[in-house]
């Protein structure tokens, strides 16, 4: 279900913004328009949808309009034209009261600079949003403690913010946003100020939280590696505030829309970011370990397959080869354990773990449940690029 819909959005800063439209039409760039009429074109004709439960990453260089877009979405600043629907409601046309209500229900914010109150405890910082909603103390503490637990800060409730490291402070920032249980999290470069190791830790934390909470997240970054790691979808803005490409991480990496995107993609070591899941295919068929030999053979022959993956209650146990089935008493007798699967623990792993294998590699999740397979031809293609 679509939760956020942005249509023909323009944001032009300065007086009489409408003067900028004909110049935009003429194809003038931001600098030229500013020199001519003094207005700054922050965003030009942005269109996109965000589905419920996805992490939607907005990526671009400094000045591309990322923060402007986020501010338009929760209407911290007014749009110049276009509309933004939040769960079907056009946020651009709401009264102050309606805006307050929609913000409370829908938006949690996490900022790069944390935005915490240094003299308050962790608990009171996390409870801030609920306090503003005038929720009684015991109730807001109860909700806040849950959020604190979720970000791994249990035991730190009574600490002062100043006693915490940067990474811990941002955990508080995330807990504060989550405590109000918003449908949408708006995250403006939340990890950019953190050192690289902590940054990776925080990315992992966000993915872990997201698995449980399934929020709709708009995440801003200028780092394509981060975008690929976190995004279900990525939207790239150029330095003119225009949308240049939108797609899955795989689409961005494998089919960059133009030289601008290509220049970002070049910087990425694909073998460290392309996850197994991105190349994973579903097999034409799988068989269960208790399948009768005759029906297994019939099915394989019908699909002209040389081998099939064998599952036992959804878990991968090995492969059987069509040729060998003829001389086996049961499917269980015929199973060949593929060495390659030992290497693959989760569908989120990155590629190099199995590039030495000769066979299509079965992919399992952390519980051993069969998810699909990866064809090595596809892996080689990627690495070659």
Distance, in Å, from the CA atom of 175 to the CA atom of 126, rounded to the nearest integer, reads 6
247 near ligand ATP, judged by CB under 6 A? no
80 near ligand ATP, judged by CB under 6 A? no
Q: Which residues contact 155 (CB under 8 A, 6 or more apart)?
A: none
Q: Which residues contact 176 (CB under 8 A, 6 or more apart)?
A: 108, 116, 125, 126, 128, 129, 147
Which of these segments, 61-69, 81-89, 162-170, 309-317, binds ligand ATP (CB under 6 A)? Answer: 61-69
**Radius of gyration for the alpha carbons in the chain, expressed in angstroms and rounded:** 25
Rounded to a whole number of angstroms, the minimum distance from the CB of residue 67 to ligand ATP is 3
222 near ligand ATP, judged by CB under 6 A? yes
CB-based contact 293:368 (threshold 8 Å): no
79 near ligand ATP, judged by CB under 6 A? no
66 near ligand ATP, judged by CB under 6 A? yes
Distance, in Å, from the CA atom of 186 to the CA atom of 202, rounded to the nearest integer, reads 16
Which of these segments, 62-70, 161-169, 206-214, 256-264, binds ligand ATP (CB under 6 A)? Answer: 62-70
Nearest to 39 by CA among 69, 10, 66: 10
* Count of positions on this chain that bind ligand ATP (CB under 6 A): 12
Binding ligand ATP (rule: CB under 6 A), the pick from 40, 59, 261, 279 is 40
Binding ligand ATP (rule: CB under 6 A), the pick from 29, 53, 63, 92 is 63
CA dihedral 352, 353, 357, 362 (to 10 degrees): -120
Which of these segments, 59-67, 90-98, 175-183, 262-270, binds ligand ATP (CB under 6 A)? Answer: 59-67
Q: Judged by CB, which is closer to ligand ATP: 40, or 224?
A: 40
62 near ligand ATP, judged by CB under 6 A? yes
64 near ligand ATP, judged by CB under 6 A? yes
Rounded to a whole number of angstroms, the minimum distance from the CB of residue 226 to ligand ATP is 13
Binding ligand ATP (rule: CB under 6 A), the pick from 28, 68, 217, 307 is 68
- Label residue 27 left, alpha or beta by phi (over 0 means left) and psi (-120 to 50 means alpha): left
Which of these segments, 65-73, 176-184, 272-280, 287-295, binds ligand ATP (CB under 6 A)? Answer: 65-73
Q: Judged by CB, which is closer to ligand ATP: 44, or 143?
A: 44
67 near ligand ATP, judged by CB under 6 A? yes
260 near ligand ATP, judged by CB under 6 A? no
- Identify the sign of the CA torsion 323, 328, 329, 333: negative
| 3-class state of residue 213 by DSSP | helix
- Per the listing, tokens 């397979």 go with 373
Nearest to 258 by CA among 280, 269, 243: 243
Question: DSSP letter at 305?
Answer: -
Cβ burial of 93 (10 Å; 0-12, 13-18, 19+) is: exposed
13 near ligand ATP, judged by CB under 6 A? yes
Residues in contact with ligand ATP by CB under 6 A are 13, 40, 42, 60, 62-68, 222
């Amino acid at each position: 279900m679509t939760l956020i819909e942005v249509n023909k959005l323009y944001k032009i800063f300065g007086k009489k913004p409408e003067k900028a439209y004909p110049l935009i039409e003429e194809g003038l760039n931001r600098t030229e328009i500013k020199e001519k009429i003094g207005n700054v074109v922050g965003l030009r004709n942005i269109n996109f949808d965000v589905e419920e439960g996805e992490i939607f990453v907005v990526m671009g260089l400094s000045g591309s309009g990322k923060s402007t877009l986020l501010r338009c979405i929760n209407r911290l600043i007014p749009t110049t034209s276009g509309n933004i629907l939040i769960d079907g409601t056009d946020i651009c046309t709401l009264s102050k009261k309606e805006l307050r209500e929609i913000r409370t229900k829908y938006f949690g914010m996490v900022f790069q600079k944390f935005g915490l109150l240094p003299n308050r405890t962790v608990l009171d910082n996390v409870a801030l949003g609920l306090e503003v909603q005038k929720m009684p103390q015991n109730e807001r503490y109860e909700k806040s403690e849950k959020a604190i637990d979720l970000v791994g800060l249990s035991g730190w409730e009574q600490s002062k913010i100043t006693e915490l490291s940067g990474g811990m402070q941002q955990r508080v920032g995330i807990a504060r946003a989550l405590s109000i249980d918003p449908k949408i999290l708006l995250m403006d470069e939340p990890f950019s100020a953190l050192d690289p190791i902590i940054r990776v830790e925080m990315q992992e934390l966000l993915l872990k939280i997201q698995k449980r909470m399934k929020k709709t997240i708009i995440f801003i970054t200028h780092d394509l590696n981060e975008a690929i790691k976190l995004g279900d979808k990525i939207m790239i803005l150029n330095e003119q505030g225009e949308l240049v490409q939108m797609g899955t991480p795989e689409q961005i990496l494998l089919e960059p829309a133009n030289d601008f995107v290509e220049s970002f993609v070049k910087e990425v070591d694909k073998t460290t970011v392309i996850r197994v899941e991105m190349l994973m295919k579903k097999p034409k068929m799988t068989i269960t370990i208790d399948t009768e030999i005759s029906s297994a053979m019939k099915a394989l022959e019908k699909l002209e397959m040389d081998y099939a993956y064998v599952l036992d209650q959804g878990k991968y146990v090995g492969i059987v080869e069509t040729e060998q089935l003829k001389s086996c008493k049961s499917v269980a007798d015929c199973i060949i354990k593929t060495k390659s699967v030992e290497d693959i623990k989760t569908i989120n792993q990155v590629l190099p773990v199995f590039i030495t294998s000769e066979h299509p590699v079965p992919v399992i999740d952390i519980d051993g449940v069969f998810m699909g397979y990866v064809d090595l031809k596809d892996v080689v293609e990627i690495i070659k690029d």
